[in-house]
Amino acid sequence: MWENIILGFATAATLTNLAYCFMGVFIGTLIGVLPGLGSLAAISMLLPVTFYLEPTTALIALGGIYYGAEYGGSIASILLNLPGTPSNAVTCLDGNPMAKQGKAGRALFTTAIASFTGGTLGVIALMGFGPAIAELGLKFGPGDYFALMVLGLVAAVTVGTGSAVRSMIMVVLGLLLGTVGTDVTSGDFRYTFDLLELRDGVSLVAIAMGLFGISEVANSIGGSGNRGAAQKVSLRSMLPDFAWVRQVAGPILRGSSIGGFLGALPGAGTVISAFLAYAVELRMAKDRSIFGKGAIQGLAAPEAANNAAAQTAFIPTLTIGIPGSATMSIMLGALMIHGISPGPMLVTDHPQMFWGLIASFWIGNLFLLLLNIPLIGLWVRVLQFPYKFIYPIVIALICIGVYSMKNSVFDVGIVLLFGGLGFFFQKVGYGPANLILGFVLGPMLEENLRRAMLLARGDATVLLTGQLSGPVLGISGLLLIWAAVSGMRSMIKQRRAVDLPAGEA
């Protein structure tokens, strides 16, 4: 193992590979800040450039773009409530309120540290547990994945700090939106209303940008947006103290563990990791009322999970040749373009490339840390720009980013539609984060359930008797019972509080 690690750092530390690693994370960060683009668009645009590079150098550059964009997306989420990538949508929940409270510098510093720590732990997991995690992922059947998705949806109900009924309504709405498009089993069109643009489903980027971006602009124009006062950020003011370390240490470690595990599972990815990390912190918090209002735990955990998952997502792609996301599919294509077949033999046939790529991840995360901490003061100055200039720029960036995904004007209309819905949801107290998670998990939930039923010839008991699916579904049921009991207790306390003055009178 140590010989492989030394070989990896010797490969990644060459001048050429260091230069392309730095360029990758720098370009990835810049593109991640732009709403609606993200790593998928960045890698797609720059993939042809890597055809003329050595395979190891090309993969190092593309990898840097990938996790650089995941970090860059958090900057716009915190400062402008615009998720640069879908996985950064949860960052808006507490990151943007911190910026409005004059804590933008601390929020960005926390994001940088959480991203670096999560990425580093993800690299360690990739080095030490890559083959084992990949083998575990191969043992997961469709029933097991279905149970995990159910657990994710049950946890989604706990993401919102308000009513559990409202959270459930938003989750169900997300599930319904996820059914729009082509049925993967029968090939039939569902809820497309004879619109060709809906045959591939509703764009996740369009929904996220509408619910978080356009609605934030609408709130600000209406006078309800609060960007906070002009903030002066110095490096000394951002230096961590003991209270800050005590607040974020646990969430970062838990988020890194969740992201490191889920990132290695095909189909899980950074979005689910970030939302589940947030849900876990919400459940473990002594005071849940601070979440959604600038809780630093709600910022640190999902950012650590997001970046840990971005690293371990390479495990199934490199070791078993199964991409866990669309972005990993492009990375897989880059390998094959350079004449390299991913799979278990990749480690033995191309050890220099495999371990060099892994070592470059840690170097790239260090570049991100050194690059972005000095720039925090510059990013915070975005809040000082007059909003009358930011309105049109933000809307233009959103529309350009969404249009560039499919070159579709229809998606721009979807953004505007969900921007109006997001504005309405905020006014009536419904959290859009639950809708996003329901939309992401819904199609995978349905697909794995139907596969499990086909393999079991319609016997639903197979879901309860599986080695993993049974216990996971049991945990989901206990969570629902516990949530129901907690809700009844709170209702009883509220009634007693209302009836007590009348009784005394």
Per-residue pLDDT of the chain (505 residues; tens, 9 = 90+): 678 778 888 888 899 999 999 998 888 887 777 665 566 666 766 776 777 788 888 888 888 888 888 777 787 778 777 776 667 778 888 888 888 887 777 888 888 888 888 888 888 877 777 666 556 666 777 888 788 778 767 766 654 445 667 777 888 888 888 888 888 777 788 888 888 878 878 877 778 778 766 776 777 665 544 444 445 555 565 666 777 788 888 889 988 888 888 877 655 567 778 888 888 887 787 777 788 788 888 888 888 888 888 778 777 777 766 665 656 766 777 777 777 777 666 777 777 888 888 888 888 888 888 887 777 666 666 656 666 676 777 778 777 777 776 778 888 888 888 888 888 887 887 777 678 767 777 777 888 888 888 888 888 887 887 777 788 888 888 877 877 777 677 777 777 766 655 445 4
Which tens digits make up the pLDDT trace of 95-142?
A: 888 888 877 778 888 888 888 888 888 888 777 776 665 566 667 778
Buried b (16+ CB within 10 A) or exposed e, 271-282: bbbbbbbbbbbb
**Sole residue written with tokens 């050194």:** 370
pTM (global) more than 0.85: no
Query: What is the predicted pLDDT for the residue at 228?
Result: 46
Query: What is the predicted pLDDT for the residue at 19?
Result: 92
Query: What is the predicted pLDDT for the residue at 505?
Result: 43
Kindly give, in sequence order, each residue whose CB lies less than 8 Å from that of residue 353, ignoring residues fewer than 6 positions away: 11, 55, 56, 59, 340
DSSP H helices in 158-238: 164-178, 204-208, 215-221, 235-238
Report the amino acid identity of residue 346. Answer: L
Kindly give, in sequence order, each residue whose CB lies less than 8 Å from that of residue 65, ignoring residues fewer than 6 positions away: 24, 25, 27, 28, 31, 39, 42, 43, 46
Q: 295 is written with which tokens?
A: 């809780």
8 Å CB contact between 226 and 433? no
Kindly give, in sequence order, each residue whose CB lies less than 8 Å from that of residue 64, ignoring residues fewer than 6 positions away: 20, 21, 22, 23, 24, 25, 27, 28, 360, 364, 367
Q: SS3 for 181?
A: strand
In angstroms, the CA 61 to CA 20 distance is: 5
For 247, half-sphere exposure in the C-beta direction (CA atoms, 13 angstrom radius) is 17
